[in-house]
Amino acid sequence: MQEQQVIDHLFRHQYGKMVSILTRIFGFKNFELIEDAVQDTFAKATVQWRTKIPENPEAWFTTASKNRVIDLLRKIDADKNRIEKLKYSVSAISFTNLFEKEEIQDSELRMIFTACHPLLNSKDQIAFALKTIGGFSTSEIAAALLLKPETVKKRLARAKKTIVDKNIDFKFPAKNKLQERLHSALEVIYLIFNEGFHSNHKKLLVRKELCGEALRLTKMILSKDELRCGASYALFSLMCFHSSRLEAKVDSDFNSINLKNQDRTKWYFPLINLGHNALEKAEDYSDFSTYHLEAAIAAEHVKAKTFEETNWQKILTLYKQLQENDKNAVVSLAMAIVFIQLQQPEKALEILEELSPSSLEQRSYLYYGVKAKYYQSTGNVSAAVNCLNTAITKVTNQVEKAYLTKKRDGLLTL
């Protein structure tokens, strides 16, 4: 179990790095071969680490990846002399240097911006970026984007074909295109974080390695002067606030704990302080984004000493602004919950009646969960139970299923 956890963590931390560096070396025309090589290296680790984990797993993986590069060369070009020249000539020095920390970061940033290239269909961009940067599986991408797996497969195939057909270069965009492309990059990173913070995985509600990876990628962006802006700082702030609560989201048996019942002494306050600092820095820039509003909402939650002391009225004001900028089903559901907390269930119902559960795709259970809250707030216990029964049938995550079942069973005893 420990070995698998290490491999899973390493996969999330290293997959995007290795795909990026190998693509920089071999180009997008060999992309599928590159993906196979990285997958092979992880498969090798799974077998070799059953008895003993290396003292430095990341270094082991880097070395194994570099060795796999030579195998790639043999597949791409069987010319043995070319391999020998690569090993021992000046180009070998450049080749080795590409695996240095700064060069790997450079390759990752190139991959992020290439995945968000305007020649790619905007819908295909995000799916491709989640695959190449976050190492997401098809089902994980489908869950993150509220899509069917078959749709994701088509988008990935189309993105790869476009990159090859249009001969898209693996490089940074021109300065006048940088900010435009940055918006898409931040969107992808936020999706990676969300899959970690509220996972659609069958057995895990929280996947800390994805949250950590999203924070790392954002810090990498903020390390570049030309990429610093209000949106990038606001997103970093938002993720810091959310990450501060990770230890309190599940108990020792991995059961879900809602915000109201979380032990706030388990919240990690250094991250909260980091979030406040980043949000202040975001105000120093002229651009404004939905991340500013979401971070402000998250700040209100972590600011409250108890759930009852939460400033729901201020949160409602922020959600209204967010809805004006980015109206979607998830924001609407959040607003409905706020109205319930403000003891205005009739306004929550107005929102719910305008929504279609199908608009949430794989997360349609959230709609029924919120509707159950509405019915419970109005004293209609039987209707609340029926909604929870529907939610239970639609949720795939076992942790959330157990949480919803426990909630339903509690209502049945009333």
CA angle 108, 128, 333 (to 5 degrees): 110
* 362 DSSP assignment: G
What confidence tens digit (pLDDT) does each residue in 136-147 have?
A: 888 888 877 778
Domain ranges of the chain: 1-99, 325-414
Identify the residue whose tokens are 């000539």: 89
The answer on pLDDT for 93 being more than 60 is no
The H or E element spanning position 286 is none
State whether CATH 1.25.40 applies to domain 325-414.
Answer: yes
What confidence tens digit (pLDDT) does each residue in 155-165 have?
A: 999 999 999 89
Packing angle of the helix pair 2-26, 31-48 (nearest 10 deg): 150
Amino acid type, 284: D
CB 241 within 8 A of CB 291: no
Spell out the residues 6+ positions from residue 248 whose beta carbon is closer than 8 angstroms to its own: 257, 262, 263, 264, 266, 267
Cite the DSSP H helix spans in 268-380. Answer: 269-282, 290-303, 312-325, 329-341, 345-354, 365-377
Query: What gap in Å lies between CA 78 and CA 281, rounded to an integer?
Result: 53
What confidence tens digit (pLDDT) does each residue in 238-295 have?
A: 999 999 999 999 887 778 899 999 999 999 999 999 999 999 999 999 999 999 999 9
The answer on pLDDT for 87 being more than 60 is no
